[in-house]
Amino acid sequence: MHATVDNDLDPRTDGLVGEWLSLNEATERLGIRLNRTKQLLSERKLLAVRREGRPAVPAAFIKDGQVIKGLPGTLTLLSDAGFGDVETLRWLFTPDDTLPGTPAEALAENRGTEVRRRAQALAF
């Protein structure tokens, strides 16, 4: 299993995310096989962390049977900025009045350009 599920989640970040999916539930929502879900994780197109000892994916990352548009690129930008998986989740799910809402909500609402611009700025 890819390192993205080796990080344990802290209670503060857990509370920000809301609904969580097991890998099997995420696989069902995506309408793919479990191996493909694991590939999405290893390619950093989807993110999972350990929650209560098991890999979990934020439900907000999947909409209409697909990974939300802009998530893979945003995950790459945040990783390039030195963010770990839990820090990435915290950033994506922390409300930002200037967006408005959270970066994850903005991505789900197809407002990813501003989210990616902000993520890119973190690297500098």
Token pair of 23 as six digits: 């890998």
Determine the residue type at 61.
F
Neighbouring C-beta atoms of residue 13, cutoff 10 Å:
20
Residue 117: closest CA among 71, 74, 69? 74
- Mean pLDDT rounded to a whole number for the chain: 91
Count how many domains the chain has. 1
pLDDT (tens digit per residue) in 31-87: 999 999 999 999 999 999 998 889 999 999 999 999 999 999 999 999 999 999 999
Q: What's the pLDDT at 123?
A: 73
Q: Which domain holds residue 13?
A: 3-122
3-state secondary structure of 59: helix
Q: Tell me the whole-structure pTM to 2 decimals.
A: 0.89
Proportion of the chain in helix, strand, coil states, percent, rounded to 5: 55, 15, 35
